[in-house]
Structure 1
Amino acid sequence: MSNNKGCTTGRATTSLKAIALIAATACSFGLAQATERSGKDVVNTVCATCHSSGKDGAPKIGDQADWSKRAAKGLASLTEHAITGVRNMPAHGGQAKLSDIEMSRAVAYMVSGGHSVDTHKAYASPQSRSGAEIVQLRCQECHATGKDGSPKIGDMSAWQPRLKNGVDPLVKSAINGHNSMPARGGMADLSDAEMRSAVTHMINQLAGRKK
């Protein structure tokens, strides 16, 4: 009887720890949004490299006729291309550290000729894959077994120290690559939002894992 009670208490403690980590994840995301760069800043420091001159066929900044033509199918289509890459433009403009919301702001800034108001909501593709789908498709190849030192799915002791500063550093590591893990888990077309969903999905497994 006492052993069962001890097991129950242990599971409850584990669940509470997991819930605390998940709550910290949400708070961390809110703080990150407040420090996102403006569309103007991203355009001036990143996008202008090609878009100021029209390099490799890129629409020139200020050429509203060209931008209007490209935006005819909707701003969502342009933003999707900016995030995932299209023709000569690499995903995220070649800057993996740029977030989805920063890319959304930069595209809107160029399309509007510099008159857009920075959005506080990142573009979310209707084709976005769920965190569970991405984990099953790619992440579990290493995280299911802890291959090459990756934190094993459901292993509280492995995830807790990695989450001590919140989820954002973990998501950034997943995006940029860390140790044996390639950038974006080796799937270059994954957006930042999809990467966050995958990381969050693995963290959420901690709450339901029995010890």
Structure 2
Amino acid sequence: MAHSTPKDPMATPVLIGGLVLIGAAVAVLVSNLFSTIEKNSIKGEIDTTSQVVAMDANLAPIGKVNAVDKSIVKEARSGEAVYTAVCAACHTSGVLNAPKIDDKGAWDARVANGLDGLMKNATNGLNSMPARGGDPSITDEELSNAIVYMTGKAGHDLSSQAKPAAAAPAAAAPAQAAAPAAAAPAATAPAQAAAPAATAPAQAAAPAATAPAQAAAPAAAASAQAAAPAAAASAQAAAPAAAINGEKVYKGICFSCHDVGVAGSPKLGDKAVWAPRIATGAEALYATSLNGKGAMPAKGGNPALSDDEIKAAVDYMVAQSQ
């Protein structure tokens, strides 16, 4: 007789419930997996906002340049006005070891060089002080006024060393030019009248002798006149280049980028970076510096610099990076 096992009526519901729970658990795990991947994945391009902000900060101008039309004569500002507009930023609080306006001890050694010595430093720049305090529109007279004002506040009177304005020679020049012109006709008239009478016999007596000399003189004079402008032009072109200190120009503006390599600029002294640039030749480097390239503005951002000054700075950087 066969033995039969009775079926449990709860077996099927329990089995189905277990499968449902397992399926729900798997669904929750898959959902969490996709959620985690979604949250930690990067979509699109990399966010470069912070890099752009840092680059803009590095390239921000450290000053301003005032373009001046030197053909327009303006009234010189007083020493106090120049000091307030330009010099006060450093000389009021002694920024970067600048002598404070009321510090007599700090000015003593400087005043010993006289007004001319102080003018030379202020005109060309010294240490951290840029040329003309960073404002190329300041005239020599205004710069002198500012120095006299600052040293006066420190107890030193340099007003007696100040040079007078150069307006008188300019006014006297037309008078000097007019006086010889007015006197010339009266002085030369008798000589011109007497010359034909004196020279007529000589011209009649020696036409054959004077003809070769008269023919040769214009040729010699023409050669001398043609050679003189060429020699003068060469001297004028060579003089500015020899007188410019490329290192001073570099330390006045170029260092801000080329000392640390801002925005990919070649660092001073980095031979590997400079080698391919030097290989392009001096004229190519000059053109890039004068016209600007990439993040570097034309003339380093200072249009007041002359072409020769820019070229001198380039020559200095090349010499330091070879």
Give the structure-2-normalised TM-score. Answer: 0.30
Give the structure with the larger helix fraction. 2
Bigger Rg, which one:
2
Point out which structure has higher relative CO (alpha carbons under 8 A, 6+ apart).
1
Give the structure-1-normalised TM-score. Answer: 0.44
